[in-house]
């Protein structure tokens, strides 16, 4: 025959807090790390991917009719870049990440 089960022991004390998370990435061209990021889809058949006037390109993912993607100077906005397929090939699909 078995006796009654004993009571459970006390719960342990919570451990110390973990390390702080990483801070934001450094801003581009003097922009603060807390700057807003936007995502833009590029329509099929477009000749280029362009961020808004107050934004800069962070990253561009283009699927081109022919291989090769490049960032080139935007003739309408000095100091800014636009994404294009190499040789002016049409974009079949794409997206861009822009920084305000």
Per domain, the residue ranges of the chain are 37-99
Quote the DSSP letter at residue 88: G
Residue found under tokens 């991917």 = 49
Neighbours of 73 (CB within 10 A): 11
User: Quick check: 28 and 100 in contact, CB under 8 A?
Assistant: no
Half-sphere exposure of 2 (CA within 13 A, CB side): 3
How far apart CA 92 and CA 100 sit, in angstroms, is 26
Model-level pTM? 0.52
How far apart CA 60 and CA 43 sit, in angstroms, is 13
What string of pLDDT tens digits covers the 100 residues of the chain? Answer: 666 666 666 666 666 765 665 554 544 455 555 668 988 898 888 888 888 888 888 888 888 888 888 888 988 888 888 888 888 888 999 898 988 8
């Amino acid at each position: 025959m078995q006796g009654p089960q004993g009571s459970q022991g006390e719960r342990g004390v919570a451990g110390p807090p973990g390390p702080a998370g990483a801070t934001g990435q450094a801003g581009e061209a003097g922009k603060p790390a807390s700057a807003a990021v936007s995502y833009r889809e590029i329509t099929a058949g477009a000749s280029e991917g362009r961020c808004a006037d107050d934004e800069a390109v962070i990253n561009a993912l283009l699927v081109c009719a022919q291989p090769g993607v490049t960032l080139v100077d935007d003739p309408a906005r000095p100091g800014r870049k636009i994404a294009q397929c190499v040789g002016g090939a049409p974009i079949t699909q794409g997206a861009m990440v822009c920084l305000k």
